[in-house]
Structure 1
Amino acid sequence: MIFRNSLCLIRKNSLVFILFINFILFSSCSSHSKMVHATMGQTGQISHAGLEKVELDKIQKNPKDPKNPKTPKEKRKIIYSANLTLVSTLPDSINPQLESITEKYDGYIGRLSTTETTIRIKSEYFETVVEEIEQLGKVTRKNIYGNDVTEQYWDAQIRLDNALETRKRYIELLKMARNVEEAILVERELARITQDIDLLKGQINKLDNLEEFATITISIKEKAKLGVLGYVGVGLYKTVKWFFVRN
């Protein structure tokens, strides 16, 4: 009798225990499901309703910071240029010689004039060309410049990468537009970012060209010719100098 009562008690307790376990498992699954849905709602996943202005504002945030560009371990980008003034008794002979030098070093003429000529030369020949130009006449002025544009170049490159990535995301949003109004909104932003991309590409290409080809500007002047009195004056000057200044 005692054994039979104990068995019944165990069966009842087992049934209660099983029901209790099932209840806990069901509650856990339900709670986990709600948590997942809540998490998905907080992460802001792109959906058909994600074309609001808030989402468009979020998409414009750059993944990289252009204020702190990491310059690759490459040579620095230096733009070389020079300004020279040449005085010659035969100024008309200067330009043909400049054209010959330019052709010799695989460059090209930027501007050709009887008073001022600009040539573009591969930067690797910059110093050699300047030395050859100095032999064409008397140099009365010479300025050499070197402009380091390394940071400017890589800043533009990083902003271009960010803009290209942003355009991809706008294209994805355009495919998800539900109506004409949403499509127009995204297309407007696409047009703006495309214009920025074109400007950045132009800036980068310009810096590449300026780095590859140095710019040399030559001002050409004719040497003044002395008249009879001029030669007399020069003679007197040299005579007086001989009396007071002796090497």
Structure 2
Amino acid sequence: MGIKKYVMLMIMVLTLALVIAACASQGGRPQQTQQAVTYSQEKAPSPDKGQPEANQTAGGDPTSSDISIRKLVKNVDTTIQVEDTKASYDSILKQAEAMGGYLVSSNISDYDGRKFYNLSVRVPAEKLQEFLDYLEGLGRIVHQNINTEDITEQYYDAQARLDNALIQEAQLKDIMKQAKTVDETLKVKQQMDSVQERIEQLKGQLKLWDQLTAMSLVNIELQPSRETVAVSKYVDWNILSGNEIAVRIRNGFVSTLNFIVNLALYLVIFIISALPAILIIILIIFLIRKYRPFKLPHLTRRNKKKQE
């Protein structure tokens, strides 16, 4: 009996120990999880305190960071009515140069004493609106069209292809250094020439896009206002002087003589050119007149016999 009691006591002690251990493990787990969460929150910096979220992407993906800088090509076509087109033309050139722009092309037309100016200037894109406000102050805007082309996707795509081509060029240079035969060198050189040509094309395209996005094109047509047109319709005195009258009389006389002489020459040329045909016609007429009298009496007798 003593051994049984001792065994039962040991079983109860072990059971109680297991229960206490289980309770302790269940009570400690939440605390360990909470500490782990707290640790992860402290180690992960927030977007406000760390670097921008766009810059945290591996490899510097241009679609997430650089694409925030839009590449826009802005062109403007505008027509303005002004009182003095020449003064406005000079003023526009000075204003464009003052803003860091330049003249691209210009054209001047004159209709009935009215001067029309067509010019194209480039101004910095960030000053485009300021330049348009200045043009609005010159006169009345008759027409204005602002065209904006977004080339952001094409630009960064070309930039990525350029980066890849530069990496490929560097790899080919390393391979060429390791080439042992002339044939291997020529094959690598051929590939490198193709890559370098593509690099130059991409650089040229990117440079052109940089210029187009940096400097906006403004096409301007300057028209005289209605008041200016009305004044320009008056006709001024324009009387010929004695010398001009004498010159015009002489020119008219000479022109008339030239016409008569040329007409006579044309007639002579025509007659000489048509002489063979004229001689044939004369010969035909001569033969007809020569044989006509012999035939007529014969025909006359026959007609008389038929009548009898």
TM over 0.5: yes
CA 88–228 in structure 1, closer or farther in 2 if over 3 Å, else same? closer
Question: Whose Rg is larger?
Answer: 2
Note the C-alpha offset of 1:229.
10
Matched with 1:226 is 230
Q: Where does residue 56 of structure 2 map in the other structure?
A: none
Separation (CA, whole Å) in 2 of partners of 1:229 and 1:105: 38
| Aligned pairs (5 A) from 1:210-225 | 210-223=212-225, 225=229
Deviations 1:108-150 (A, max 9, x none): 2222333321111111211111111122232211001221111
What is aligned with 2:65?
72
Per-residue CA shift, 1:69-107, capped at 9, x if unaligned? 624253222222211012234222222111111122122
1-structure distance, mates of 2:179, 2:170:
15
Tell me the equivalent position of 1:158: 160
What is the SS of the residue equivalent to 2:179? coil
Instruction: Identify the residue that residue 86 of structure 2 maps to in structure 1.
Output: 92
Query: How does the TM-score come out when normalised to structure 1?
Result: 0.60
Report matched runs for 1:1-247 at 5 Å.
70-73=63-66, 74-114=68-108, 115-223=117-225, 225-226=229-230
Q: Secondary structure at the match of 1:106?
A: coil
After TM superposition, the score normalised by the length of structure 2 is: 0.48
Pick 1 or 2: higher relative contact order, CA cutoff 8 A, min separation 6. 1
Which residue does the alignment assign to 2:288?
A: none
Q: Unaligned stretches of 5+ in structure 2?
A: 1-60, 109-116, 235-308
Structure 2: how far apart are the matches of 1:228 and 1:89?
12
Count of residues in Structure 1 that have an aligned counterpart in Structure 2? 163
Structure 1 gaps, min length 5: 1-67, 231-247
Q: Which runs of 4+ in 1 moved over 3 A?
A: 226-230
How far apart, in 1, do the equivalents of 2:174 and 2:83 lie?
69
SS in 2 for 1:136: coil
Contact 1:95–1:112 (8 Å) recurs in 2: no
Measure, in 2, the Cα distance between the counterparts of 1:124 and 1:229.
42
Distance 1:71 1:81, change over 3 A: farther
Quickly say closer, same or farther: Cα 1:97–1:229, change in 2 above 3 A: closer
Aligned partner letter, 2:96: T
Query: What RMSD over aligned residues (CA atoms) do the two structures have, in Å?
Result: 2.4
Q: Structure 1 residues 113, 128: closer, same or farther in 2, change over 3 A?
A: same
